[in-house]
């Protein structure tokens, strides 16, 4: 099945290096809490000048953790 002629939102640039890095993570068995994730968190924290950083799978997860960190729970009101 051919793809229709459309303007892509984003055309990824994936080469052998990226494929090898992804395969390395998949083979390690540590998709979310392995050495690569820890290295990403450390590099990001260093880049923004923070003590810690946590990589999560979505903005929803990040917002959930932020609310937890601020002690916001059931019955609390949040105004944006």
Both tokens assigned to 21: 């890095």
Query: Is 65 or 5 the better-scoring residue by pLDDT?
Result: 65
Instruction: Report the share of the chain in percent with pLDDT over 70.
Output: 96
Q: Is 62 helix (H, G, I), strand (E, B) or coil?
A: helix
Specify whether the CB–CB gap between 47 and 62 falls below 8 A: no
Looking at every residue in the chain, the average pLDDT score rounds to: 91
- Given this model, what pLDDT does residue 78 score? 87
Indicate whether 28 pLDDT > 80: yes
Residues 10-46: b if buried by 16+ CB within 10 A, e if exposed: eeeeeeeeeeeeeeeeeeeeeeeeeebeeeebeeeee
As a whole number, mean pLDDT of residues 24-38 equals 91
The region of weakest confidence among 7-11, 28-32, 75-79 is 7-11
- Given this model, what pLDDT does residue 1 score? 59
Burial class (CB in 10 A: 0-12, 13-18, 19+), 55: middle
């Amino acid at each position: 099945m051919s793809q229709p002629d459309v303007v892509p939102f984003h055309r990824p640039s994936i080469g052998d290096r990226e494929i090898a890095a992804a395969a390395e993570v998949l083979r390690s068995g540590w998709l979310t809490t392995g050495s690569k994730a820890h290295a990403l968190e450390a590099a990001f924290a260093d880049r923004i000048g923070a003590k810690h950083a946590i990589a999560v799978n979505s903005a929803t997860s990040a917002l959930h953790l932020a609310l937890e960190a601020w002690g916001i729970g059931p019955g609390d009101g949040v105004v944006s």
